[in-house]
Amino acid sequence: MTGWVDAISGTPEGHVVAMGLALLAAVSHAVFGALQKGRHDPWLSRGAIDISYGLMALPVALFVVPWPQGNAWAILVGAEVIHVGYKLAQATSYSRGDFTVVYPIVRGTGPLVTVAAAGLLFGERYSGVQWGGVMLLSGAIFALALVNLARSGRDRAPPVGTLGWALLTGVFVAAYTTYDAFGIRATPDPFTFLAWFFMIDGLVFPWIALWRYRRMLAPPEPGPLMLRGVTGGLVAFVSFGAVMLATRIDRVGQAAVLRETSVVFAALIGWAFLGERVGVQRAALAVLIALGAVVVEFG
């Protein structure tokens, strides 16, 4: 499998494969976000998800893929630090605001920063038309967040605080996307990076969730919570694994932009499963988001 990934990297075939992987990551990431924001406390949901995929990755990391060599250990530790910061900011955002408000802001910030960072770190260059597509996609995502904020029936936190945490989460998204793209490219076997990342990443946040769980006056039943965790863990393998392979095979910036079409799928999930209205404005903005991704891809 590793040989095939390396063989198609940088080729027209690889570009098509990377585009498909990024879109797969978009769908699965919207599902993942809804799972964390669902009926359970987002801190507990994230802890259940992390311990689930950490345990599932354990035998693969130890017995299937090659062990990390050389500076791969340092790269994995750096990735974990960034991801812990991301998850802390994300859980705080979801605790303060509606899913359809927070999620678009997070995803709208990511591509702007990631495309710029990919130009600096990986020498990727984008045409003026493609940058216009990035601006269209991110602008429509931010507009969607503002529409959702105006229509939100909940006022659990000051809007400025909610938006600030969501923006910080988006910066972390760009940071981990760029850093992890570097990591998976620097590791000879990409599946070594993925397996060991998931195993290590499952070690930290469950303790934070357990600390919060023990201090709850009415903690939820562990059975349904862990079922959500196992489901989220499986989805995380697809979401994160797909976009990381896409960044190894093809351009980091394009993979990041295509992944952010997850906002469109998140709107559908919010409407279908979380009881959140869509409306004409949201539908029109979803079309603009998709159009921005198309412009980046073919511009």
pLDDT digits (tens, 9 = 90+) for 219-275: 888 898 899 899 989 999 999 999 999 999 999 998 988 888 887 887 777 777 766
Interatomic CA distance for residues 104 and 140, integer angstroms: 9
Element (H, E) at 277: none
Is the pLDDT reported for residue 61 higher than 50? yes
Q: What is the mean pLDDT of residues 182-211?
A: 94
Interatomic CA distance for residues 195 and 193, integer angstroms: 6
Local confidence band at 157 (pLDDT 50, 70, 90 cut-offs): very low
Q: Which residues contact 282 (CB under 8 A, 6 or more apart)?
A: 144, 147, 148, 267
Total number of domains constituting the chain: 1
Segment among 122-126, 134-138, 194-198, 272-276 with least mean pLDDT:
272-276
Global model pTM greater than 0.75: yes
Which DSSP state fits 71? Answer: T
Q: What is the mean pLDDT of the chain?
A: 87
295 and 132 Cβ atoms separated by less than 8 Å = yes
Q: What is the pLDDT of residue 102?
A: 81
Highest mean pLDDT: which of 39-48, 54-63, 222-231, 258-267?
54-63
Cα-Cα-Cα-Cα dihedral sign, residues 76, 106, 263, 202: positive
Neighbours of 298 (CB within 10 A): 9
Interatomic CA distance for residues 257 and 294, integer angstroms: 10
Domain of residue 50, residue span:
2-298
